[in-house]
Structure 1
Amino acid sequence: MTSQENRRITDLGTLKAVSHPLRMRLYRALFVARTATASQLADQVDEAVSLVSYHLRKLADHGLIEEAESQSTDGRERWWKPASYGISVQEEDLKGAPELLAASAAFGRTVNEQRTELHRRFLDERLTWSDAWRSASISSEWLPRLTAAELTDLGAELEAVLEKYDRKARAAEEAGDTEGRENVAVHLHAFPYHS
């Protein structure tokens, strides 16, 4: 059964496994789909089913995804689902471990590149979306001067709000309320920088 909590990644092998660009794309696609087969995911990422199957098994080896109940009568193809509500990498788990720091940086770059591609695709395709969706989309930048403690509090509050909306949407979908729903990407970055 899928855990309702985030999976906190603390080991090098799992961090390296999910840092692979195709595996991260597959994890994201599976997270959005909730359940899918290798064939369905291969269509989404435009890769061979055999390659996708291999990478799904690698994600499963590290406990990031797991087999799901079959959604078809065929029974020949495996169905997959995320093993947890999400994944996270926490800075305190990386202290004193240079190999984890390096793997975390690779993970961050992979995730950032894919997030940038999602946003670029929206910008390129924005006229294909309705006025309501274009108006609802958000693009803003704030440059406050905060303490580390204030940034920690801000992050916790933003995460709580996003989790509230995500869980509410999931419950509505499970109840059959899918009218007008689209996949929405919300990317937050908050970090210190030197001016």
Structure 2
Amino acid sequence: MPSQENRRITDVGTLKALGHPLRMKLYRALLVGGAATASQLGGQVDEAPSLVSYHLRKLADHGLIEEAEARSGDGRERWWQPASDGVSIRGADFRDAPEKETAHLAFTRLYVDQRADLYRHYLDERAAWPAEWNDAVADAEGNLRLTAAELASLKDELLTVVRRYDETGRAREAVGDTEGRENVAVHLYGFPFRV
């Protein structure tokens, strides 16, 4: 079980450790699955367990993951789990030096690319999902006219709703209400633009 709630990352070293493409996939897989071995994760990301093990140790060196209690009788297996319920990375924490801002931008671009890949994968597999899931999928865009303060307020309200649904779903699952539950990604972007 994670030892801390959402962890705020403020140092470049940890940001770069997580900002590696394979490490980010491994971290996300652990957040979704809870705990796994290098062999199990290697199968999920199509990489050799030895390479996966190396990258897991790098994540652990930065306190992003930790060893988990063994889930099988095989004492040779090393189990890993996230060290927190997730991470929080804010641009404001990396604006005080150009190299920090560059590292944050590289991380953010990778994160956006992996989110887009996840959605593309759903689109490629959409026909395999039941109609009720395809009908429930949200794919929308709004072009609003807001101030920075209004955008911040909108963000806070939307994140509150997302957290409420997450907490409710996890609580129901904890008491055995697992019928029909799937992992659901919700990506939220709100940013200014000019045409």
Give the alignment's TM-score, normalised by structure 2.
0.96
CA distance in 1, matches of 2:100, 2:166: 30
Superposed CA offset, 1:104-158 (max 9, x none): 1111111111111111111111111001000000000011011111111111111
**Is 1:42–2:42 an aligned residue pair?**
yes
CA distance in 2, matches of 1:173, 1:83: 21
Equivalent positions of 1:1-195 (< 5 A) are 1-195=1-195
Structure 1, 15-24 or 72-81: larger mean CA deviation: 72-81
CA distance in 1, matches of 2:123, 2:30: 24
Superposed CA offset, 1:47-72 (max 9, x none): 00000000001001101111111111
Change (3 A) 1:101 1:123: same
CA distance in 2, matches of 1:151, 1:126: 32
Aligned-pair RMSD on alpha carbons? 1.2
Superposed CA offset, 1:61-85 (max 9, x none): 1011111111111121111111111
CA distance in 2, matches of 1:151, 1:32: 29
- How far 1:4 moved relative to its partner? 4.9
CA distance in 2, matches of 1:178, 1:38: 26
Percentage identity across aligned positions?
62
Structure 1, 10-19 or 88-97: larger mean CA deviation: 88-97
CA distance in 1, matches of 2:150, 2:75: 52
- Unmatched 5+ residue regions in structure 2? none
- How far 1:91 moved relative to its partner? 2.2
Change (3 A) 1:4 1:157: farther
The size of the alignment, in residue pairs, is 195
DSSP-derived class of the 1:50 partner: helix
CA distance in 2, matches of 1:24, 1:194: 31
Structure 1, 136-145 or 150-159: larger mean CA deviation: 150-159
